[in-house]
Structures are given as C-alpha cells and as structure tokens.
Structure 1
Amino acid sequence: MKKILLSLAIASALCGNAAATVLNTEKAHIQVDTLVSGLKHPWGISFLPDGRLLVTERNGGLLLVSADGKSKTALSGLPAIEAKGQGGLLDVVLSPDFANNNRLFFSFSEPGEGGSSTAVASAILRGDALTEVKVIFSQQPKVDARHHFGSRLVFDNDGNLFITMGDRGSQRNEAQNLANHIGTVSRVTPEGAAVKTNPFVDNKDARAEIWSYGHRNIQGAALHPTTGELWTHEHGPQGGDEINIARAGKNYGWPVITYGEEYGGGVIGKKQQAGLEQPLHYWVPSIAPSGMVFYGAELFSGWKNNMLVGSLKFGQLVRLELDGEKVAHEERIMIGQRIRDVEQGPDGAVYLLTDSSDGQVLRLTPAQ
C-alpha cells in the first residue's frame, strides 16, 4: 500500500505558517493557507449559507468567523460547560432547515450531579447571540471523568440527529450495557425525542435513543453520499482505531473485541467474536483519528467520493479511496499539526482545524 509522507521541512513550515505552502500528493498539488489563527483548541466547524464559519473552541467559545477569516466574534448565550480534560464545547452543526429557522445544534460536556456527560443543545442564531437555547439531549449517566466524550453530530436524510458518545474512559464495560448511553451512537429528533424507528424503542431494558453500541470514542462521523448510511471512526486504545458503518441495533464490540491493547501493553479482549461487528478498516498503530468527511466537490477532482480523516497523533490528513464498503487505498498527507476536524466548504475547498492553544483553520485548494 503506497503512502505519501511529506518531509519534516514541509511539516515545520506549516506550523505557524502565514503564507501559502504547496504540498505534492498522489492526486493533487495542494495549496495550504492559514485562514484563521489564535484559536483555543478548536474542535468543530460548520459553514453558514453565506460562507461564514462557526468554529467551536474546547475551552467554551463559539466563534462566528467571516468567510475571509479576517474577523471573528464570540457568540453569547452558551449554557454552563465543563471545559476539563477532553471535555468542553465540542461539535456544531446547522439545522437542515437553517436557511428558514436559523437553528443550530452543538455538543458539549454538561456539568451536573455525579460529574459530567455529553449533552446536545439547540439554539437560534440572532446576530452575535444564541437565543432560545435548549438542551435537547443529555447522556446518562453523568460520570466523574474527563475523557471520551465522542460528540460528533450528523443529521440523517430524514432530519433526525445522530449523536456519538464515548465510554468516558473509566466506564468501558458499560459500552455493552443498553441501559445507559455510554459508548453508543444515539438518534433523536430535533426536539430530542427518541426516533420511533430506533432499534430498541420497544426494549424496556434499553435506552430508546440508542442506535448502535459497543463503541469506544467516536470523533468522526458522516453520511455516505450514496447510501445515506452513517459511517464513523473511533479511537482505539493503543492501536485499533476503527472505521465502521453504524447500523441499527448492531454491537461493535468494545471492549470485548478490539485490535488494540492496553496502554503500555496487555490484552484487552479478543479480535473477533460471533455476533459482534468487525471494523471495515482499522489502524495499528493508532493514528488517533478525529474529523471526517466524504469529499463531494469538483475542486479536487481526484478526491471525488474519497473519505478524508484527520490524524491527531501524526498530524496528517488521511485520504481513503473506497471500493464499496472496503478501503481500497490509503494516502497520508503530512500537515504537521494535530488535525481535529475536516470539512468541505461551500467553495469546494477542504478546511482543517488544528488542535492546539494557537489553533488554526487551514484552507486546502489546488495549487495554481
């Protein structure tokens, strides 16, 4: 399998880069521009219809950024957020009907009795403020832990909202327990109710919101452009990051099966077991994936329908060519910074968020 790893000199140039940098990759010559800098651990990005950007900062800031990146405004009206460890303000998505209702949704670590948990709120964007803020979903139970919040938000083609949630680090065995939301993908209506066609709505011993379970920490999710199914990737422990199609009622095995091991070594579970879903693709060693998009524009014609994944550990953009439900080819493009999120802009460019105390929005376009 051919992989392109760009030189350390290029990676160094990108760190703190003010001018454009050109990367030569397998199917594209890429120009990388820094659109925005000075962000505090940015986590999620979404584009307004007029080209402006919404960017979350893990420390609890939600920024409205001009399309040219020259101005950014902190929005008021956020609820109480526990910004500790891996928690804070996390993903943000627009309502499918945003053009008419100005409604958006965001995930965050919500403080409460017993600790914190992944929660989702909706709000109406009016000028520089969030109004009519309402928590529509709160993961149960709350746990005194600072890890594995999951938190990617994706609307399905019926207008329902998928919410990914992690095992909170200390609660991994609970990812097999349908009586809570630990280690699950849940699906709710925009008002937060369990969707009536969810797989466990008639199971009195299960949470009706659950769509799939047995997940460790999903930080990448996107709808397949043809099938409309939810594809996800999740962090493994030491190795064993996975790509899955999250299907209704399926058990993805964590921690009973995994291709990873304990940090520092040691067996966690088996690699396979009957009744538990195998990943479509996995990484050993771990790339620490975060952010994910199916590229669908014409700007990078050689990337059409490819999956793009960010790597926190190696500072890469990982490009995956698919053959049905198989990864046929993988290319690793060295960016040189921790990539937290990947998004396709309305202009067809690829936008990356870099995870640092001086985080950036990078804009990738074909080099001229």
Structure 2
Amino acid sequence: MIVGILKKPAFADNAAFDLVGPKVDVRVERDGATRPIAEVPNLQSGDRLWIHPVLLDSQSVHYLMVVAFLRGATNPPPENWFTRAETWNKPVRDEGIFVTVPPEAEEALVFLAPETGGAFSTLRNAVRGKPGAFVRAAQDLEQASLDRSRLEAYLEAVKVTSVIDPEELQLRTTFLARSLNIKLDKQCFDKPSAEQVPCLTQNNEALVLDDAHSQNMVATLTTGAPTDLLAQLSSTPSARNGYYSPYIGAVVDVVRILGTTHSAQYQYIPALALPKKDEMHLRLNNPPSFRNPKSVIVIALPPIRPTVAPPLRALDANQVFCANKPDLVLPADGAPLVFATELARNFVHHLETKAGATDLPAKPESSRGGFVIDTQNARDSGS
C-alpha cells in the first residue's frame, strides 16, 4: 500500500519572509518639504533622496550600497544613473548619501552587496544587461511589500483586540477584513475563544486578497519581461484551494525573475520593505550567502510616477449620520492601503451647515470599519 502525504506547495514557502534584514533610513525632499519614506507613495523626477543604511558597528562583512534608477525593459539606464556608497566608511555610516531622481526614470532599486573587487561594475553591468528583469523585480517587490503591509496590520490588530477587547473580536475582525481586504474564515468564530486567534491568523500568506489600489500604484510591465506566474497559478487546483494569493504570486514571480540574473559571483535575493516613519524594515525569505555566489539584497523604492488617488467609497452613500454623535464612524472601503499604511494622511470630513462650512478631522481605523470623525467642533457650534 502506498500512502501519500499532501504537503503545502513549495512555492508558498517563498512567501514567508521571516528573516529580519538590516534597516535602511530614507527621506524624500520635494518642493522644499521633506517626508519620511512611509508617507511617500510615489517618487517623482527631481526628488532628492536621503538614504542611510543602518548597520551594526560590529558588521564583519563590508556591504557596498548601490542605488540604481531604471527606465523600462527595453532601454538600459545610463551608467551615471548608478550611485555607489561604501557603507563601512564613516561619512556614509554616520550621515548617509543623497541622490536625485533623474528625468525619465521609472523605477528605483537599492542593492546591498558584499564587497568584492569590481562589485560596483558587476552590479551595474548586470542591471544594464538585463533591465527588464530588474524592472519587473522592482514592480513585484513593491506590490508584495504593500500587500505584506496589509497582512502585518491585520495580524497585529487581531492580536491586540484579542487581548484588550476579546468580546469584540468577531465584530472588529470583520471590520478589519473588510477594510484591509483580507480573507476571513468565519468558521473560526465557532471555535472556543482560545482557538479563535490562531485560526484567524493561520496560513497568513494566503489571507491577502487582490487589491486594485496597490496594483494601480505599481504599474504592470506588459512587454519584455517573463510571463507573470499568476496567470499560470490561477488555473491550478492549489490556487483554487487558497494556497496562492496575489501576495504569494508576486513573491513567487520576483524570486523566479531574480533567479535568472545570478552569476558565478553574485545571486540576487529579494527583500520586502516595511516602512515605519523614515525606516525601511527589511524582511528576507532566504538567508544571505557570503560564499560565491554571494547574496545581493535587492530593495525596491516607491515607483516613479504620478500618485494615484485612493479609490475610497462609502458603503452606503444614502445613509444619514448625525454630526453631533461623539463616536461617529463613516463606513468606507475600497482602499486598504489607507488603513494599513501611512501613505495617506490629513483626512477631513467637509461639513456644510447653516452656520457655514467646517472641516472635521477624520482618522482611518480598520478595526472600526471606516473613518472616525472628530465631531467636537460640530458639537461646540451646535450644528
């Protein structure tokens, strides 16, 4: 008798990204104002970037940092679109470097490579020799990082709610899933309370659902690159059974693409960037190698194109709310990144009253399913 053991597909393991990598601080200066990278959805030509790798003083391997700009799959970038920085040198370690986004650039990547003789020219030649692979890798990395941000926000909120307000776990989790566009298994709520949180967070890489907002932010390359694996995976039984989410698809794609660019000296491993203020926290899915072929960490910066407005929508446009309600929540969805990241800010609810117009501060809260409105001014004015 032959006994078969069904295992989770190997491709899904690529989505773990459970290894903590180094941090990279990034700020963006535009029109005289400086913003932390977590508040910058898109770069623009002329932006001045401050990039500072955060490495331990005890770092035994010298990392060469290379900042590269790309301009499409069929147009190799010029040599002066590559900037090198020796992270072990005191000025770079203490102060970082500044680079400016050149005209016509469309994507930006940061490489961290163990220093060897000729490392800079090797990396530059690899990118210029196969720009389409790195363009696609940049797009998939950015997509996967945005999706991972939604997943992290969901997992953290579920854990916090289970501790602070366990009686509200079902309601809050339902709001979370809707706001962040996360797959919710309602059967988890039929389990004993101690088993609900593990159930809600299991197989977490497959929880992330498709999100048009982040896809619009990251343009899809339609020519000159390998076929997106999502098209192939969508027709497989594993995909229909939920093993593959768009997040996993993007990860599988970028791992495969970077795998085609390896050489005897270097292999390229992706890093998901999870921004918090001006820090990009990196997560790796493979342990770096310091023997040939040595591992080059590949980090995607936000795409270089006009910012796409979040497609927020009211759940019920005809619903009437009372502006004097102290805990007013306006239900909304359609833009998970608004709830999961710091990319959108300074929301207000414009209110027309007999006494005149006023703007009430609005804060997105995924666990409450919409925007929490500060109605104090409306109540004070008797609107």
Higher fraction of strand: 1
Global fold match (TM > 0.5): no
Instruction: Give the structure-1-normalised TM-score.
Output: 0.24
Instruction: Give the structure-2-normalised TM-score.
Output: 0.24
Higher fraction of helix: 2
